[in-house]
Amino acid sequence: MADFSFTEEQIERYSRHIILPEVGGEGQRKLLRARVLVVGAGGLGSPVALYLAAAGVGAIGMVDSDTVELSNLQRQVLHTTADLGVSKALSAKATMEAINPDCVVTPHQLRLTAQNVLEVIAGYDLVVDGSDNFPTRYLVNDACVIAGKPLSHAGILRFEGQVTTILPGKGPCYRCLYPEPPPPGLVPSCQQAGVLGATAGVMGTIQSTEVLKLILGVGEPLVGRLLLYDGLEMAFRIVRVLRQPDCPVCGEHPTITAPIDYEEFCGVTPMGAHGLAGAAAARKEVVA
Amino acid sequence: MSVATGTITLRFFGALRQAIGQREVGLPWAGATVEEVLRRFADESSEEVRSFIFDRQGRRWRSLLLLLNEEPVEDSQATRVADGDILALLLPLAGG
């Protein structure tokens, strides 16, 4: 794509970026040309969306099928009291474009499924997982690995967070860390266990930083590293995580070669891959 | 069988921390394998805590990530814990 000139307003708007050696005019152009999909306009998606929009990421997709509820506003800083009852994807678009008219937001008012996920992510360079449930998290991971899209993953609960960056083929994916989701009902959601609103802010802001670094091509992303955050201790630990040769989606002999819905593998067998392989095989049979 | 002695620390994250009600516990089990530590800990814990680690048939859930001194445990049956080691038990976090 040909270089384009900044307007006077853009030079002023992005001046604090442009003077950074790691960004500069060329980096700012990269940001303006970048296309990022944010899955979830909730606790994590809010800071991610705000910082990416403010940074001048030119095209951002916001996936969310819910509407804004009062209990969201304690942490979902994209939305305001006036947005109650409004689609989160549309509310996000309004907030983000008000911050920065250079940012064009595409609302995706849908729930990602095995049927639509590849089509939705196809229009983007990078994906951010800010969803609030395991079915979507595994689906987004699998789809990004299959499509070769970089993925920023984070999860939160109470005062804790985990964040990592997945570059398919170059480092471990979410399934390398956690091959299967916990059995349904065992691990609570934020709705069940609560979450300090600011936990979402800390983790989402780290995700934004990772995404901006990947677009700019600077620094060291959290690839092969899992950052554990404990807000009560105020401790950040970074642990090494490994790619698993037997990973069902990014391993040497993948059994998941197309997106699968959680319902197909929620009857998982612990310490045995046949639950997943069976689901994948069943799907292949259906497709065939 | 090793007869090493000493204390190891089990450190918990996420829902497991909430179920146990504390961040970590010290146990005099140095010398045991990681797998033995988990079995023994589960046997001495409540049914709820146990259910985070093993299913009803006693097979370990694949949703548990194990780190020994902040490094991944590649083979829980071959890796032994030594005095002062910290074994971390992580579960994925669904919330967003």
pLDDT tens digits along A21-74: 999 999 999 999 999 999 999 999 999 999 999 999 999 999 999 999 999 999
Whether the per-residue pLDDT at B83 is higher than 60: the answer is yes
> pLDDT-derived band of residue A266, with 50, 70 and 90 as boundaries?
very low
- Contact criterion met (CB below 8 Å) for A140 and A116: no
Task: Return the higher-pLDDT residue of A187 and A26.
Answer: A26
Which residue does chain B place closest to A44, by CA atoms? B96
Q: What pLDDT, on a 0 to 100 scale, did the predictor assign at position A3?
A: 64
Which amino acid would we find at residue A175? R
pLDDT for position A282: 33
How many domains are contained in chain B? 1
Spell out the domains of chain A, with CATH numbers in brackets: 15-243 (3.40.50.720)
Q: Does B58 touch chain A (CB under 8 A)?
A: no
Q: At residue A269, does pLDDT exceed 50?
A: no
Using DSSP, state whether A63 is helix, strand or coil.
strand
How high is the pLDDT of residue A188? Answer: 76
- Position B96 in a domain: no
> Which DSSP state fits A86?
S
> Residue A4 pLDDT more than 80?
no
Domain of B12 in residue numbering reads as: 8-90
- Where residue A263 falls among pLDDT bands split at 50, 70, 90? low
Q: Do A181 and B18 touch (CB under 8 A)?
A: no
- Tell me the C-alpha distance between B63 and A154, whole Å: 16
Query: What CATH number has the domain bearing residue B76?
Result: 3.10.20.30
Residue A220 has pLDDT above 60, yes or no: yes
ipTM, two decimals, is 0.91
Residues 31-50 of A with CB under 8 A from B: 40, 42-45
Let me know if residue B15 belongs to a domain: yes
- Show the tokens assigned to A147: 């499509």
Question: How many angstroms away from the CA of B57 is the closest CA of chain A?
Answer: 9
Q: Give the mean pLDDT of chain A.
A: 91
Q: A184 touching B, CB under 8 A?
A: no
Does residue B1 fall inside a structural domain? Answer: no
Q: Which of A216-225, B17-26, B27-36 has the lowest mean pLDDT?
A: B17-26
Residues in chain A closer than 8 A to B70 (CB atoms): 237, 239-240
A269–B61 C-beta distance less than 8 A = no
Q: Is residue B25 part of a domain?
A: yes
Closest chain B residue to A135, measured at CA: B94
User: Residue A197 corresponds to which tokens in the numbers above?
Assistant: 């609103």
Q: What is the pTM of this model?
A: 0.91
Q: Do B95 and A242 touch (CB under 8 A)?
A: no
A129 to chain B: nearest residue by CA?
A: B96
B96 in A contact zone (CB under 8 Å): yes
Contact state of A178 with B72 under an 8 Å Cβ cutoff: no
Distance CA A228, CA A111 (A): 28
Read off the pLDDT of residues A155-176 as tens digits, 9 standing for 90 and up. 999 999 999 999 999 999 999 9
Distance CA A83, CA A55 (A): 24
- Say if residue A128's pLDDT is above 80: yes
Whole-angstrom distance, CA of residue A116 vs CA of residue A259: 9
In a domain, B3, yes or no: no
pLDDT tens per residue across span A226-255: 999 999 999 999 999 999 999 999 999 999
Dihedral of alpha carbons A73, A78, A80, A86, sign: negative
Q: Is residue B95 within 8 angstroms of chain A, CB to CB? A: yes
Least confident of A125-134, A184-193, B30-39: A184-193
